[in-house]
Amino acid sequence: MPETVAAAHHHHNPALVHQFDNEEQQRTASTLGMWIFLATEIMFFGGLFAAYTVYRYLNPHAFAEASHHMSVKAGAINTTVLICSSLTMAMAVRSAQLSSKKATAWFIIVTMIFGIAFLGIKAIEYHEHYVEGAAPGVNWTITGNDARQIELLFCFYFIMTGMHAFHMIVGLGLMSYLLTCTLKNRFSAAYYSPVEIIGLYWHFVDIVWIFLFPMLYLIGQHLKT
């Protein structure tokens, strides 16, 4: 970037902090920083995914049987809800880029509603597992030759979906922060990095679910007799 352009920008945008040459460089830095954080999140969920893969490889039949205890309908509806929330989140970022405060606020609110709906459906599923006796350590009544291995899958299920749900709750907290800042006129076309990077976080949590859905609900359904 030519320094003259950078110097000119310094006096125009109060959101541009002095260690950056211009808005473009500042946005690149925050996006890159967020992706480095998301790489650590890939490592975090990656450990769970790898452990799940190993135990699924070692106990394919028990894991397939366990997937028959899942409600594919609830899982598919929740996947759809999260995809809708990703669209509204993307639209919230777009509205912030266009300095449209009202649209940004509404899209954030709708995204939060989808997020809460997801958690509600997840809670109903957890309750059904509990009632059915498929909650390891709390209420476990499934018996048979593969009972221990099925219990193992349910441990993976509760830890993986639980960590995912925890990320959703954190996301909802971040959304409330974004909503407050939006209503205080903090964002405009000149500065919307928080909307952009919290959007990245929200989409990332969506991606984790995009993998959890086939892994926990779908694979093994065709073996149902």
| Residue ranges in contact with other proteins by CB under 8 A | 23-24, 27-28, 31-32, 35-36, 38-39, 42-43, 46-47, 49-50, 53-54, 57-58, 72, 76, 79-80, 83-84, 86-87, 89-91, 94, 97-98, 189, 196, 199-200, 203-204, 206-207, 210-211, 213-215, 217-224
Closest distance to other proteins from the beta carbon of 75 (Å) = 8
Q: Which is nearer to other proteins, 135 or 171 (CB)?
A: 171
Residues contacting residue 37 through CB under 8 Å, at least 6 positions apart: none
Q: Which is nearer to other proteins, 30 or 140 (CB)?
A: 30
Closest distance to other proteins from the beta carbon of 139 (Å) = 27
Q: Which is nearer to other proteins, 42 or 117 (CB)?
A: 42
Closest distance to other proteins from the beta carbon of 17 (Å) = 16
Q: Which is nearer to other proteins, 17 or 58 (CB)?
A: 58
The rounded distance, in Å, linking the Cα atoms of 70 and 132 is: 11
The pair of structure tokens assigned to 177 is 């922060």
Q: Which is nearer to other proteins, 58 or 183 (CB)?
A: 58
Q: Which is nearer to other proteins, 58 or 170 (CB)?
A: 58
Phi, psi of 77 (to 5 degrees): -60, -45
What letter represents residue 35's amino acid? W
**Which pairs from 180-186 meet CB under 8 Å and 24+ separation?**
182/96, 182/101, 182/104, 182/105, 182/108, 183/101, 183/105, 185/101
The rounded distance, in Å, linking the Cα atoms of 224 and 61 is: 11
Phi, psi of 102 (to 5 degrees): -60, -50
Closest distance to other proteins from the beta carbon of 31 (Å) = 6
The rounded distance, in Å, linking the Cα atoms of 143 and 53 is: 24
